[in-house]
Structure 1
Amino acid sequence: MKLEVLEKDKVYHIYNRGINSETIFNSVENKQYFLKLYSKYLENKADTFAYCLMDNHFHFIIRIVNEKEITQALSNLFNSYVKAFNKQNNRTGSLFEKHFKRIQIINETYLLNLIQYVHLNPKHHLDLDYKCFQFSSYQSIISDKPTKLLREEVIQLFDSKDNFIYCHDFKNEILSEKHLFE
């Protein structure tokens, strides 16, 4: 299968999960380390709109800044993390399913929905409060603390911080009601 080439100035949903949906982050420290590696390897190569790290998968929404180096940078990130995780857990072999998945975001509506989907992952996978989930970009976007995220751009996509919050709450309510009828 030929993988889509990541192009400069394009926005992508980058995601993957553990082999057989196994755990890829078994501690807070694992998630912190992964984000540290993410910053190290992707700085000046990609801008981040949103992210979420779940126990067995992750999501990033990024815009490519340096297309020549991004694929290698992502590969280095994942390989570095797997080596550390394997050493820590006395295991060998692959941790992630094949290659990381990448889907180009082709319009603003898709981007808005995807940002909400990524942030709502904790609620709909683990029934956790997505607003307080530590390993999602949701809190960083609504915060005034310094961040490397594209906070202002994300807020502008939703027109305001209040609307960003409202849209997430509304989408969460709709998805919660949907589960009642399944």
Structure 2
Amino acid sequence: MNPIFLAIILGEVAFWVFLSLGLLSRYVWKKEKLSLILLAATPLIDLFLLGVTFMDLSNGTKPTFFHGLSAAYIAFSIVYGHQTIKWADQWANYRWNNGTLPEKITLVGEVRKQEQWRSFYRFCKCSFIMLILIGAAFFIVPFQDAFWLIYWLVAIISSIFIWFIMGPLRFTTKKQDTSL
């Protein structure tokens, strides 16, 4: 098995373990400090994965698909990790602390269009981080070995254009239905 792919899997498992233990500590075991430590430690997983990926490339390994996937995982974790933790915290509060049921909001009209733009900007931030991480790998990897890095650059830039067309542009140019 590819060591970077294994590191990504371990990082994902570690994220959910830290998140679960953090929420259990907060709502079931009533250990607020432990909860904060566990939840605050989740970014360390990204640092671990970043270190493993760049050490692998520095040791002369030719980049693979998984090196780009590592950059994508780190970027998504940075941009969307807080939202994921907040979502899980709301559900844990509801489930274990008699909190209120998280409300599912249906977006229509102008509000939906604004959310499409916010979502697109978040994705652009995520893509920018991916581009920086992959761009940094070009300083380590000889250009003749950079096929997968170039592949990821094309995929990221293409994704931005596709998201723009299918998201904000589509909702900005079409007539909005304001009814539920």
User: TM-score normalised to the size of structure 2?
Assistant: 0.30
Structure number with the higher helix fraction is 2
User: TM-score normalised to the size of structure 1?
Assistant: 0.30
Structure number with the higher strand fraction is 1
